[in-house]
Amino acid sequence: MRRDLDRREWLWRRNCSLTPRQTVAAWAMLCVLSLAVAAVFLLHGVWQVLCFTGVELAAVTAAFLCYARHASDYEQVVLTSGCLVVERANAGKIAQTRFVPSRTRIGMPEHAGELITLESGGVTLEVGRYALAPQRTAFASELRMELLAGRF
């Protein structure tokens, strides 16, 4: 969370355990190990293992590409004077939704797994996908207090 005099900002990112460099290194190590095992079997005349290794490496590559595609996903909520902006990045695509702060209704999460609902002018949006349940509740309370204070 960032706070200026006339701006509040909340940012949540996907929790990724590997950096891009570590992801490439892990993928390369898996490929080398699988191909080494397949080569040993190929030297003994069992060529079928090489076919299964190709299928395995295709699946592993697809999984790592999916992981890499979503590694930089995030949600950002920015409250400024006259505007509440929600920016969401998913698989490299960025979508922005704008709300009028004075007309925005906040739906608090009732259960641990639920997201926060922002509603204004017929537009409904759920936020907090990458935040833990206590962070969602704290954010919803903070945002509600800021909107009720009317400074924005």
Cα distance between residue 86 and residue 76, in whole Å: 6
Asked if 61 and 80 sit in the same domain, the reply is no
Residues 3-62 pLDDT 10s: 556 789 999 999 888 888 999 999 999 999 999 999 999 999 999 999 999 999 999 999
Asked if 90 and 37 sit in the same domain, the reply is no
Residues 62-79 pLDDT 10s: 999 999 889 889 999 999
- CATH code assigned at 124: 2.30.29.30
Asked if 66 and 88 sit in the same domain, the reply is no
Asked if 10 and 27 sit in the same domain, the reply is no
Domain count, the chain: 2
With beta carbons less than 8 A apart as the criterion, state whether 117 and 126 touch. Answer: yes
C-alpha torsion sign, points 55, 61, 64, 66:
negative
Range of the domain at 63: 20-70
Asked if 11 and 46 sit in the same domain, the reply is no
pTM of the prediction?
0.77
